[in-house]
Structure 1
Amino acid sequence: MSIMCHRARIMPWRTLRFNESVCNPYNADFDGDEMNLHVPQTEEARTEALMLMGVQNNLCTPKNGEILVASTQDFLTSSFLVTRKDTFYDRSSFTLLCSYLGDGMENIDLPTPALIKPVELWTGKQLFSVLVRPNAHTKVFLNLAVQEKIYSKKKGKKEGGEEVKETMCGRETMCPNDGYVYFRNSELLSGQVGKATLGNGNKDGLYSVLLRDYNSHAAASCMNRLAKFSARFIGNHGFSIGVDDVQPGEHLNRQKKKEIDGGYKKCHDLISLFAKGALALHPGCNAAQTLEHNITGVLNEIRSIAGNVCMDTLHWRNSPLIMSQCGSKGSPINISQMVACVGQQSVGGRRAPDGFLNRTLPHFPINSKTPAAKGFVANSFYTGLTATEFFFHTMGGREGLVDTAVKTAETGYMSRRLMKGLEDLSVFYDQTVRNASGGIVQFLYGDDGMDPAKMEGKDGMPLNLDQLFMKVMATCPQRGSDTLSPVGIKQMLEDKFLQHDTSSDGGCSAEFKKNLTEFLDKRIELMKCTRRALHLHEDHVEKKDSCLEESIAAIISGISAKQLQVFLDTCLSRYQSKKIEAGASIGAIGAQSIGEPGTQMTLKTFHFAGVASMNVTLGVPRIKEIINAAKKISTPIITAQLLSRKDVLSARIVKGSMEKAVLGEVAATIQTVLKSSLPNLVVKLDMQLIETLHMGISADSVKLSILNHPKLKLKSEHVRVIDRAKLRIYPAGTDKLKLQLELHNLKSILPKVIVKGIPTVERVVIDEVKVNNATERYQLLVEGTNLLAVMGTPGVDARKTKSNHIMETNQTLGIEAARRSIIDEIQYTMKSHGMNIDRRHMMLLADLMTYKGEILGITRYGIAKMKSSVLMLASFEKTAEHLFNASYSGRQDQIEGVSECIIMGIPMQLGTGILKVRQRLDHVPEFKYQPDPILS
C-alpha cells in the first residue's frame, strides 16, 4: 500500500500535499520527506489504477483486514477534547463548529439542544454525532461499542488522591473516566473518542464499521469531515507542550522517594542473601540468575508505581497526559520518564554488563550489584541525569540504533527471498492456488477461500457477530412482534443453513457455521437466564402482551423472527461477499504481509518464558530459522504435556527420567584404589540427591551405562557392583606399565558418562500454566532435541507434545505436522512482538515450503527445487551460473512466471492478466475503406 492512486489537483510550486489520514500507509511525515509521482498515460491504465489502487478502495490492509487509512495525531487530540463530558456550546459556538465540517456547501440539521433553560446548550458529543450524520438525507446509522484506553472499572479518586474501591456501577457506559464509546444509530451516547475509535490498527473502530456496514465512500466522507473540523478547531483552541507540563508536584516527589528507598532496601536485602548463599533459587536458574531476576522485578515495579502515581496526580488538562490518553502520541512510560523516573536501562535484555574488571564503571566498588551500579536511573529527564546514569542511558540507546541499522539489511533480504518464492502464486477460477506452471499448492486458499483484507473479526474470523447483532437490534426494532422461543431460533438457523447450502454460491465453511451456532446458543442462554430471573418458563414463550414479565423479557433479551431473519441474511450475504476473487496475487500479498512486520521487530533474541528462565530465540533470527528450514536451530525446545496434568510430583518424576544426568553429578566420590595386584576406581553414589530428584538411579543402572559407553570399551567382568550405592571399576588393559595411564583416562571419562535421561536433552524445566492466577496444569519445557524419545517417556502425553524444531517434527511426525509447526511458530513469533497477521498468509507460506513432500527453505537451494524457470532463478541469485548451465544443456523456458514476463516485457498471468479476451471473427462484418461522402 505504499503506492496508491490519488486524484491530482495541480497547484503552484513544488510541494506535494495530501490528507494527513493517508500518511500511515506511506509511513510519511512532514520533516522533508520526498515522494515520487507516476501519471497513467492511457484511459485503461487510469481506470485500472483508480479501481485497484485508489485510496478509497484500499482503506484496509491485506495483512489482517485492519483499517490503515484513519485519523492520526491532532485529529485524535481535537476529537478527544471535543467529546469530553463537561464540554458545552451555545448556539453561535455550535453552529460555527458545525461550519468547520465542510466548505460551506453542506446541509447540516441542528439536533435538539441538550439543555434548554436558562440558555440553549449543545454538548461536544452532539457535535460529533452531527459529524457522523450531518443531515437526515445521510442514511448512515452507525452502531458500535468500543473500550478506549482510558476505560476503567474503578469509581475514581477523591480530592485527596485516595483510591475508592471498585464497584459494580463502574461497568461499560458508567465508566467514571468516560472511556466506553457507545454509538447507537449514529448518536454518540457515551465515551470520549480516541485512537481505539478513530485510529488505525483496529477492526471495531468507527471507520471500520462504516466501511463494512455501508461503503468506502461513507468512511472517507466521515474522515474528510473530521480532518477539516479538527484542523480548524485545534488551530483556534490551541494545544502546546512546555516544561511546566512535566514539572512534578510535591506529593509525587514524596511518593517517588518512598518507593525508591523501599525498592533499594529490598535489593540490598536480596544482595546480602546472595552473598550468604541463602537465596531461594528459581526453577532452572543458578544463584546469580535468580538474583538478577528478582532485582529486575523490584526495579521494574518501582518505575511502574512511580508512573501510576504520576498519571494519577497530573491535571486532566496536562498536554502530554491528553496525548497519551487519546493515543495521538506517546505513552504513560514516556510521561513517567519525563516527570518521575527514567528506570532500569537494559543492554541485550539484561542489566548493564561489566565494562571493567568485575564492575560496570570505575565509579563503583568491585562486584557491586546495587541498582545504581547496574544501570538503574532514579532521576527523571526533568531533574536531569547524573554522569553515571547518563552513561548507562547511552548504552541502552546505542542498542536501539545498532538494531535499526542491522535489521534493515537482514529483513530486506528476507523480504526479497519471500517475494521471489511466492510471487507467482494466485487463485484460479476453480478456487485452487497454483503457481505459474499450474502446480497446485492449495486446493482452497486458507482452507476457506476468504480474503484476508475483508475479515471483520479477530483471529481472521469473517464476521464480527457481536457488532452485527447490535446493528440489527438497533436498526430493526421489535415493534410489537412476538419473541421467538429457543427451539424456534434453532429451527430457523437450520432452515437457513439448508437453504443456503443448496444455493449456487456454494454455502459456508463448517467453521463459520459452528461459530454462528455458538453465538446464537449464547444469546439463547442469555434469554433463558433473563426468563429464570423473571420466574418465567425457559423454553415456552408466551405472547409479548400476555403479561408484564413477558414484555420485560422481550425488551431485555428477546429476538423476533424478523430480527433473526435480517441477522442471518446479513451474515450469509456478507460471508459470500468476502470470498477471494480469482486472479488475486495472494503470493505477493502474503510475502509482503510476513516481510513488512519484520522491519518493526527488534533483534532482541531472548525472552524469558515465565519464571522458568527458558531462553527462546525470537524476532528476526527466529523467522530466518523458520523460512530457511534450518537443520540446526539455536534454542530447540520441546513442550511436553503430562498425563497427570495437575500433579507436581508426577511432573518431577517425569522430569527426572528425561533430564540428562552424568555420573559426575550423581556420584558422591570417585576414588582411586592403588593395590599391588589390581588397581581400581571406587564410585559411591549420592543416594540422598538421587531420591530427592526422583531420578531412579542405582548401581546396577550405572553399571549398564558404563558398559554401553563407546569410549570406555569395558566388559561386564571389569565393573563389579558392591552394594546399591557403590561400584568398583577395573581398567580393561593388562599391561602393568600402562595401568596408571589407563586409570587416569578412566577417571577423566567416568564423570561424563550419561547414567540417566535422554542424551540430547540439556535440561528440563517444570512450567506452571496459570489461568486467572490459579494453576491450571503443569507442563515440561525440554531444552534439546529427540522428540521421539520425549514422546515415548512414561508419563508424557505424546498426542499433545510438540517441538519448535521443524525439521525434527518432519522426521518424527511427517510433513503434515511440519506444515502445522511452521504456521504455529511464525504466528507465535509475530504475536510475541505484538504483531497480528492473518493466519492464511502463514498457511500459504507453509504449504509452499512443504507441497513437494519435503521441507524446502526459501533460500537459493530451496527455490531452485521449487521453480524450473531459468530466467526466474537467474534474476534471483547466481545469475551467470544458471544461464551458463541452461545454455550448455539447451533448456527451454516457458515464460510463465512473474519475473520472466517482466524480463520479456509481456503481461503476466495475475489479476487482470489471468484471462484473455477473445472474439469470434466470423460474426464481425467485413470493414471496407470508402471515400468520405460529398456533402452537398
Structure 2
Amino acid sequence: MPWRTLRFNESVCNPYNADFDGDEMNMHVPQTEEARTEAITLMGVQNNLCTPKNGEMLVASTQDFLTTSYLITRKDTFYDRAAFSLICSYMGDAMDSIDLPTPTILKPIELWTGKQVFNVLLRPNASVRVYVTLNVKEKNFKKSEHYDETMCTNDGWVYFRNSELITGQLGKATLGNGSKDGLYSILLRDYNSHAAAVCMNRLAKLSARWIGIHGFSIGIDDVQPGEKLKKERKEIVDKGYKACDDLIKIYEKGSLNAAKTLENELTSALNKIREETGKLCMEGLHWRNSPLIMSQCGSKGSPINISQMVTCVGQQTVNGSRAPDGFIDRSLPHFPRMSRAPEAKGFVAHSFYDGLSATEFFFHTMGGREGLVDTAVKTASTGYMSRRLMKALEDLLVHYDHTVRNASGCILQFTYGDDGMDPALMEGKDGTPLNFDRLFLKVQATCPPRSHHTYLSTEELPQRFEEELVRQDTSRVCTDAFVKSLRGFVCKLGVKSASPSQIFSKGSGVTDKQLEVFVKICVSRYRGKTIEPGTAIGPIGAQSIGEPGTQMTLKTFHFAGVASMNITQGVPRINEIINATKTISTPVISAELENPLVEASARMAKGRIEKTTLGQVAESIEVLMTSTSASVRITLDKKIIEEAFLSISPWSVKNAILKTRIKLQDENIRVLDSGLDIIPKGDSDTTHFTLHNLKNVLPNVIVNGIKTVERVVIAQDDKNKEVDGKKRLKMFVEGTNLLAVMGTPGVDGRTTTSNNIVEVSKTLGIEAARTTIIDEIGSVMGNHGMSIDIRHMMLLADVMTYRGEVLGIQRTGIQKMDKSVLMQASFERTGDHLFSAAISGKVDNIEGVTECVIMGIPMKLGTGILKVLQKTRTEDLPKLNYGADPIIS
C-alpha cells in the first residue's frame, strides 16, 4: 500500500534480523526536536555500521550482492568499452562522473577486466581521494609451498593496493559482515561511515541490475548427480559400510574393550564417508553450478548442504551420539535386535535428490527435532539471563574523569577496560586498538620509497622509532601496553620488510619517511579511539554478553585436549559464572607441572592428587576366623602401587583407617609385611556381623590423594612449544580443593588455575576471581566460535567483585550491590522490597535508570549526563538586610 510500507537497503537486514517473507516493523516517531536530533545521531544506520560487541561490521553486502561480486571479479572476465561503460553507469544511476581506467588489453581491441569494475566502484574519478590497501583470504584460498599467496590458483587471495584490485575473487570475507579486515571495515576506519555507505550503495545498485540481466537461478538439475558421481559415491559408501562391519566383528570377538570405543570408531568411519562423498561432489560439479557459486562466495549455503543434496545426507546424531534404542535393543522395529549396523543407527546413505527411505526419514526427523527443542528450551533461560545482566549493569557509565561509576557514585574502574578505548572502534581481532600489519601495508602503498628518502639500517630503525615516540609525545596520550606492542611490531618490521638484496645493500627495507608516517598515523588513530564520556557502557556490555547466549547450545563439550573429559559449556556454564554458583557441575583444576617434560614426574604428582581407595590397591580383603581369633586380613598389591607411583605403605593405610568414622583403635590394627590385620573388639555374638561389615566398608576408605578429587588426566600441552622434540605435559584435575592441589609436590602452584570462581576467590583472593570470571566467559564464547571484546567481560567481572566478595547477578547478589529501592523493586520481589523500605524509612535519591524511567525524568547517562553551570551576576542576587540579633526572652 502506498505510504504504508517501510523499505530499506538489503544490506541493513542483518541487524534487524529481517527478511522479506511478511516481516512487520513498528515505527516510533520522536516527538520533540531534541529527541529527533538524538535519534538521527544515535540510531542512524550510517552511525551503526559496526557492532559495539567486538567492532566487527554488522551492515555489509549480502546474498545477491556477494554472488555478483564473485562472478564479475572472476578470472577471464572481459568487457569492451560499451559493456564496461554500461556496468559503470549501473552503480551511480548514470549521474556520477566516471574516469574510465586504462584498459587491461589494448590490442587488437580495448578490453577491461571485471576486477577493474571495483576500481571504479571505489574511486569513480580523480576527485574521490579514497586509497584502500588490504589483504584478505577468501574461502577458496589454497596455500602452496611453491608460489606466493597472490599467485593462488583458485584466485582466493584478495589484494587491493591504492583502491586497485590486483588479485582475488571477491566474496563474503571481503564484502560480508562479521569481519574486521573486509573492504567496508577499512573504508570505515580509514575514512568515515559515509565512504563505506556510498560504496555499499554503489554495489547494491550494480548487483541488482547486473544479475538481473546476466541471470542467476537454482533448479533441481543443479543438484542432479551424474552417472560417474553416482558410481563413485556407491563405492565410497560400500567401502565405509565394510569398514563398519569389520569393526563390529572385532567387537563381537572381544578385541575392542567397550561399547563406547566401538561407537567412537563407527562414528568416525561414518563421518569419513560423508567427508569423502562431499569432497567428490565439490570436485565433480561444474564451476558454473549455482549452489557451488553461492557456497564459494559465502552468499548462501555450505559444502555440507551441497553434498547432502547431491551425494549423501550422512549420520544423524541425537544428543551427540548415534540414534538411541527406542524399542527393546533396537532403534526401530524394522531392524534386527542388537544391530549396530550404520543403517540401523541413523546413517542416511541417500541424498535429498534421491529421496530418503522411511527409516532414514524417521532418523532425519529425530535429528532435526533436537535442534528445535534445544532452541525452545534455551530461549527462556537466555532471556532471563539477559534481563539480570541488564538490571545489574544498567546504570554504569564513563564519566569525564575517565572513571566508570554506577548511579550511587561508586567507582568500579578507574579507566574503562584499563585503557579507556571504545570496543566499537577496535581494529585488531583480539580487541587491540590497531591492526599494525594492515596500517604498515597502507603506508607502504601511499608512501613508496623516493630518491630523496633514506633506508634505515636494522640498527637505526629502533633508534629512529624512539625519537619519533618522543616527538609524538606518546608518554602522555598512549598506554604503556600500546607503546610496547607498537615497539615490538617495529622491531620485527626490519626483518619482515627486507628482501635478501635489501638487507645486503640498504638494511631494514623501511625508509625514514615511512617510519615517520606510520608512527604518526598509529598515535593519532589511537587518540581517536578513546571512549566518549557519558557512554552507557553498562547496557552495551550486558547486551554484548547476553545476545551471543541466544545462539549457544545447551550441550556439554569435550575438554580441550582431553576427549574423555566432558565439561559443561554454553548457556548452563554462562549461568554458573554469572550466578557465582558455589557447587558447579564440572569443576576442573588445570595444574602445571614443575617437570613438564618427564612423564614419571607427572605420574607421581597424579598419584599424590588422585583419590585412591583401599579397594583399588588391595589384592584381597578377606575375613579370617579360627577357633581362637577372628580378623579381617588386608593384603596390598605392591605391583599396582609401584606402577602408579603411589606412596602407600601398610603404616599409611593404618593411619587412613584410624582417621575414618570406623570405630577402631590403634591396638585393633596390626601391621604386617604386605598388609594389615584388623581385630575388632566386642561381644562374641556380634563379631561375625562386625567383620563382614568391615569387609564391605574398608574398600571405600581413602588411603591416598585428595578426597574431593575424582580423577586426574595427564595430557599434552598444545599451547606451549615442544622442548627438544618432547611435548610438555600438564594435568587436568576433576574435582575441587585448589589449595591442596597447589601445595602438592611436583605441581607448579603459581600457574595452577581452577574454573570454580568461588573457590578461587577463597584460595587466591578477589583479584584472582575477577581474572577467572573474564577467562571463563571468554573460553565459553570462544568454544562456540563467538568473540566478545574483553572490556565487556572486564566490566561484568568488576561488577561481580567490586564489593570485595564475588556477588552473583541474581536476587541475593543484586541486594548486596547497594541498589536503590525502586530498582530492586523493579527487579524481583516487588512487594517485599517496598514493604521493608517503608518500614525502615529508606530514601531513594532517583539517580539510577529504572528510577528515572518510573518518575518520568531524563536519565543521567548519554546526553542526560550534561549539566550547565550558569554564572549569576552579583547585582541579580537578592539583597539581605542583617539586623540586630533577636533577643530571646
> TM > 0.5 between the two?
yes
Identify the match of residue 444 of structure 1 among 415, 424, 429.
415
Contact between 2:403 and 2:415, CA under 8 Å: does it hold in 1? yes
The structural deviation recorded for 1:268 is: 2.9
Identify the match of residue 699 of structure 2 among 729, 751, 765.
751
Match of residue 885 from structure 2: none
The structural deviation recorded for 1:452 is: 0.2
Contact between 2:503 and 2:509, CA under 8 Å: does it hold in 1? no
Match of residue 45 from structure 1: 35
Contact between 2:67 and 2:293, CA under 8 Å: does it hold in 1? yes
For 1:196-250, what per-residue CA distance to the aligned partner results, in whole angstroms no more than 9, with x for missing partners? 0000000010000001111111111000000111111111111111111112233
Contact between 2:494 and 2:510, CA under 8 Å: does it hold in 1? no
SS at match of 2:792: helix
RMSD: 1.9
1:374 aligns with 2:349: no
1:25 aligns with 2:2: no
1:128 aligns with 2:118: yes
Match of residue 481 from structure 2: 511
Contact between 2:757 and 2:772, CA under 8 Å: does it hold in 1? yes
Query: Structure 1's 188 and 794: CA in aligned 2 closer, same or farther, altered over 3 A?
Result: same
Contact between 1:433 and 1:440, CA under 8 Å: does it hold in 2? yes
Match of residue 168 from structure 1: 146
1:76 aligns with 2:79: no
1:494 aligns with 2:470: no
The structural deviation recorded for 1:655 is: 1.7
Identify the match of residue 736 of structure 1 among 677, 680, 684.
684
Query: Structure 1's 877 and 535: CA in aligned 2 closer, same or farther, altered over 3 A?
Result: closer
1:658 aligns with 2:609: yes
Contact between 1:680 and 1:729, CA under 8 Å: does it hold in 2? yes
My pick for the range that moved more, 308-317 or 36-45, is 36-45
My pick for the range that moved more, 756-765 or 368-377, is 368-377
Contact between 1:826 and 1:842, CA under 8 Å: does it hold in 2? yes
For 1:41-79, what per-residue CA distance to the aligned partner results, in whole angstroms no more than 9, with x for missing partners? 222222211122211111110000011110011100111
SS at match of 2:456: coil
CA distance in 1, matches of 2:638, 2:618: 8
The structural deviation recorded for 1:497 is: 2.5
What is the 5 A alignment of 1:322-337? Answer: 322-337=293-308
Match of residue 542 from structure 1: none
Contact between 1:638 and 1:782, CA under 8 Å: does it hold in 2? yes
CA distance in 1, matches of 2:190, 2:587: 46
The structural deviation recorded for 1:775 is: 6.0
Contact between 1:198 and 1:207, CA under 8 Å: does it hold in 2? yes
Identify the match of residue 428 of structure 1 among 399, 404, 408.
399
Long gaps (5+) in structure 1: 1-10, 155-166, 282-286, 537-548, 927-936
The amino acid that maps onto 1:307 is G
1:785 aligns with 2:769: no
The structural deviation recorded for 1:81 is: 0.5
The structural deviation recorded for 1:608 is: 4.9
CA distance in 2, matches of 1:253, 1:777: 47
Match of residue 881 from structure 2: none
Match of residue 530 from structure 1: 499
The structural deviation recorded for 1:111 is: 1.0
1:714 aligns with 2:660: no
What is the 5 A alignment of 1:129-208? Answer: 129-154=119-144, 167-169=145-147, 171-208=148-185
CA distance in 2, matches of 1:77, 1:118: 31
CA distance in 1, matches of 2:692, 2:463: 83
Match of residue 82 from structure 2: 92
The amino acid that maps onto 1:513 is V
Identify the match of residue 227 of structure 2 among 247, 250, 253.
250
The structural deviation recorded for 1:13 is: 4.2
Query: Structure 1's 306 and 658: CA in aligned 2 closer, same or farther, altered over 3 A?
Result: same
The amino acid that maps onto 2:659 is N
My pick for the range that moved more, 56-65 or 476-485, is 476-485
For 1:272-325, what per-residue CA distance to the aligned partner results, in whole angstroms no more than 9, with x for missing partners? 33333323x6xxxxx233222222222222222221121111111111111111
1:228 aligns with 2:205: yes
SS at match of 1:459: coil
SS at match of 1:193: coil
Tell me the TM-score normalized by structure 2.
Answer: 0.95
What is the 5 A alignment of 1:586-597? Answer: 586-597=537-548
My pick for the range that moved more, 815-824 or 916-925, is 916-925
CA distance in 2, matches of 1:882, 1:383: 64
Match of residue 839 from structure 1: 790
Contact between 1:769 and 1:775, CA under 8 Å: does it hold in 2? no
Match of residue 284 from structure 1: none
CA distance in 1, matches of 2:398, 2:281: 54
Match of residue 298 from structure 1: 269
Contact between 1:607 and 1:618, CA under 8 Å: does it hold in 2? no
Query: Structure 1's 272 and 871: CA in aligned 2 closer, same or farther, altered over 3 A?
Result: same
State the number of aligned residues: 873
Contact between 1:682 and 1:729, CA under 8 Å: does it hold in 2? yes
CA distance in 2, matches of 1:904, 1:535: 71
Contact between 2:472 and 2:520, CA under 8 Å: does it hold in 1? no
Contact between 1:612 and 1:767, CA under 8 Å: does it hold in 2? no
Contact between 1:421 and 1:863, CA under 8 Å: does it hold in 2? yes
The structural deviation recorded for 1:921 is: 4.1
Match of residue 5 from structure 1: none
My pick for the range that moved more, 916-925 or 359-368, is 916-925
1:483 aligns with 2:434: no
What is the 5 A alignment of 1:661-740? Answer: 661-710=612-661, 712-724=662-674, 726-731=675-680, 733-740=681-688
Query: Structure 1's 697 and 358: CA in aligned 2 closer, same or farther, altered over 3 A?
Result: farther
SS at match of 1:614: strand
CA distance in 2, matches of 1:858, 1:488: 54
The structural deviation recorded for 1:520 is: 0.7
Match of residue 521 from structure 1: 491
SS at match of 1:780: strand
Query: Structure 1's 395 and 622: CA in aligned 2 closer, same or farther, altered over 3 A?
Result: same
The structural deviation recorded for 1:884 is: 0.8
Contact between 1:609 and 1:615, CA under 8 Å: does it hold in 2? no
Match of residue 366 from structure 2: 395
The amino acid that maps onto 1:730 is I
SS at match of 1:793: coil
CA distance in 1, matches of 2:874, 2:233: 89
What is the 5 A alignment of 1:771-782? Answer: 776-782=727-733
CA distance in 2, matches of 1:144, 1:331: 26
Long gaps (5+) in structure 2: 878-889
Query: Structure 1's 683 and 364: CA in aligned 2 closer, same or farther, altered over 3 A?
Result: farther
The amino acid that maps onto 2:331 is T
Query: Structure 1's 295 and 502: CA in aligned 2 closer, same or farther, altered over 3 A?
Result: closer
The amino acid that maps onto 1:716 is D
Match of residue 768 from structure 1: 716
Match of residue 566 from structure 2: 615
The structural deviation recorded for 1:441 is: 0.5
Contact between 1:107 and 1:134, CA under 8 Å: does it hold in 2? yes
For 1:558-582, what per-residue CA distance to the aligned partner results, in whole angstroms no more than 9, with x for missing partners? 2222211111111000000001111
Match of residue 773 from structure 2: 822
For 1:611-662, what per-residue CA distance to the aligned partner results, in whole angstroms no more than 9, with x for missing partners? 5310010000000000000011111011111111122232222222221121
CA distance in 2, matches of 1:534, 1:67: 38
The amino acid that maps onto 1:210 is L
1:920 aligns with 2:871: yes
CA distance in 1, matches of 2:259, 2:707: 27
The structural deviation recorded for 1:723 is: 1.5
The structural deviation recorded for 1:16 is: 1.4
CA distance in 2, matches of 1:273, 1:436: 68
